[in-house]
Amino acid sequence: MRVYLGSDHAGYELKSHLVNHLAKQGYEVVDVGPHVYDPEDDYPAFCLNTGAQVVADQGTLGIVIGGSGNGEQIAANKIPGVRSALAWKVEIAQLARQHNDSNILSIGAREHTLDEATAMAEAFLTTPFSGNERHARRIAQLAEYETTRELPALPAS
């Protein structure tokens, strides 16, 4: 499976670790950048490009990494078709795949040890979407909104 990884300076060390670790696990890893540490870089370019590449390359997944992971998730989610989830523990990374068919994981490098972050990445990459009808229905509603920009009707109370 191909996996795209992008970060900013705060996530650079973790991204570099995951690039090597995941390649050793047999993943085809694409390092979107940065390719050198720059304490002044900005995450949007790396995260937007990671998201665009994941959407353009069907069947792939991505990981974006920053200090907290918040901005990186927001940036990736600006790309239509991206469903990026911020994980703070393994179970959340798994649920992102099982329930939301998330295609990008966001990790806060300053919030986790290397081992914790690696475990979340592995859980995300190895957990399949459940295919459950209610989850698929909800994802379809989000995709419809991305396409039409029409808000769904609120249920009658």
- Positions marked active-site: 72, 99
Digit-coded pLDDT (tens) for 28-43: 999 999 999 999 999 9
**Distance in angstroms (rounded) separating the CA atoms of residues 128 and 39:** 36
| Domains contained in the chain, CATH given | 2-130 (3.40.1400.10)
pLDDT mean over 123-142: 97
Whether residue 154 is predicted with pLDDT greater than 90 in this model: the reply is: yes
**Distance in angstroms (rounded) separating the CA atoms of residues 78 and 47:** 9
pLDDT at 122: 98
> What pTM, to 2 d.p., does this model score?
0.97
pLDDT mean over 71-97: 98
pLDDT mean over 56-77: 98
Contact assessment for residue 70 and residue 114, using Cβ atoms and an 8 Å cutoff: no
End-to-end, the C-alpha distance of the chain in Å comes to 45
pLDDT at 125: 98
Residues of the chain by 3-state class (helix, strand, coil), percent to 5: 50, 15, 30
Q: Which spans in 25-153 are helix H?
A: 43-56, 70-76, 90-100, 114-126, 133-148
What H or E segment, with its residue span, contains residue 20?
helix 12-24
SS3 70: helix
**Distance in angstroms (rounded) separating the CA atoms of residues 150 and 157:** 21
Digit-coded pLDDT (tens) for 11-29: 999 999 999 999 999 999 9
pLDDT mean over 120-148: 97
pLDDT mean over 97-114: 98
Q: What percent of the chain has pLDDT over 70?
A: 100
pLDDT at 157: 80
**Distance in angstroms (rounded) separating the CA atoms of residues 54 and 12:** 19
pLDDT mean over 41-68: 98
DSSP 79: S
pLDDT at 17: 98
